[in-house]
Structure 1
């Protein structure tokens, strides 16, 4: 079982032209807009980072995106863009391409199995204008059920102003709503899932996890060293942009990042790389425990932290976080 990338409660269908855009926008091609929020499973237009897409060959795509200079959650720190914003950008791109490139109907859940990213810290430098990105995407190991996409592996090369910013590889699967309900069982009932969610525990000190507001902290104190309870705040406007029946994948990634920072100590660093596996859904009605421990340094000598999330004595998520010192 893996973790859904989440689907908004309503997603109207749209016709598309040869480039994937609405035919009515043909005369506006020189203007910059975001892609339709429904195509990236977002409710708030302000949370859409993608601006366009086009085919660049068989099962190959170019997606453009823009990172704002400031963001309410993925905000800059130490004069750098947040590297985890890359994971959210890739999440949006994977879902977009499942719809416009592979014909997955809107309203069908998309599910992560694995996500691995690496960024160049120097390319994250904050400038006087937003960061314009190009994501060069290739789809591999495509499996279809009938004429519809079932699973695929995607490889991303990301450029910022023509310079390498980073690379990402991820696996994605898509299900019909009926299959998703069977997979989720009783937890597919959104109203029930939200009604039975645990009370929100207190947050750890924001400074411990690289945050400046308790509302953005996703870890709660727990007994034992480097062990925390996952804080699942379903009112959070970014992590829960729309109601979902489980802890979203981006919440689990943020928990891994914060656990790594807490384990590393007070020296400022950034999560320059992550290798995440989504094992099963993290439910809202039971505590999820986050554990972290220092791991062997990577090939470049950078420190790494191994993070595991467990619920009901079973792993739900794992991550290896590579931390690069600021400066």
Structure 2
């Protein structure tokens, strides 16, 4: 399957630069897989498409202020984006700059806060290892106070400063660890959560810490050649039990976002006895791996979902509009069918929907 099949032209003015207020005021496109029907709504109406006895599962990962600025002893400036914690002091990071060899020491400061005397003035880190592709293992002299030293990382296509960092966090956010928000969750407000509970929809969470690779286009010529990024996922035994009870009672499992989808389908594959790497899960014979109850998981997943994948757990997907040639667009195409997604995106552009992280939502039923 050619990656070019997942490309599309997007007018740049449709890339949302700021979030809407209130959160639930965004638009909602509803795509029906069975009928092919596409309809247009406000996100505040999303509860109308759920039923009592359904369970909605969102990603509770929280974005950390992972963007740091520092200086070398020579005075040269360095920008660092923390990606993944190895322990309290060692991180995998993207480090931008020249002559950044192992052993180099960098002093991290937040000049704006330091001027106001509200932050620790500085902390030193050392480059430990070159991991390739501008990634490096870095070690802080002491555990960094990121809330004081760091800034919120925004996707590269957002150029407008964010007035309130909490607008890049979801109402579900709980566990620090992501370099980007699970954006499908950004549409939910306290009012929508209350309406869902009143409808009889259960709410639950999983955890997937998102890295910046989520924004990368697939550069391989063929989809099957792409190596998906690994991300840490966690689904507790209690959540697995509630999901399985819901499915056995005839309720639907609703995934909020592609990250929740990857976590839930990883859990279903593990429960079905699939061991080792999940990168080529789309090639597994579904006859050898029928749907079984979701199992608890706590691991790094490399599950790559693209057309041909057999979904074993999720019944409904809530998502945003994704970048061309991205693994996320391939995932939604696998769930709804490539042709239906192409038509939905064509209509979304014609109807001036807002795209990407701060954009509008799509509900695939």
Range of TM-score over shorter length: under 0.3
| Pair member with larger Rg | 2
Query: Which has more helix, going by share of residues?
Result: 2
Query: Which has more strand, going by share of residues?
Result: 1
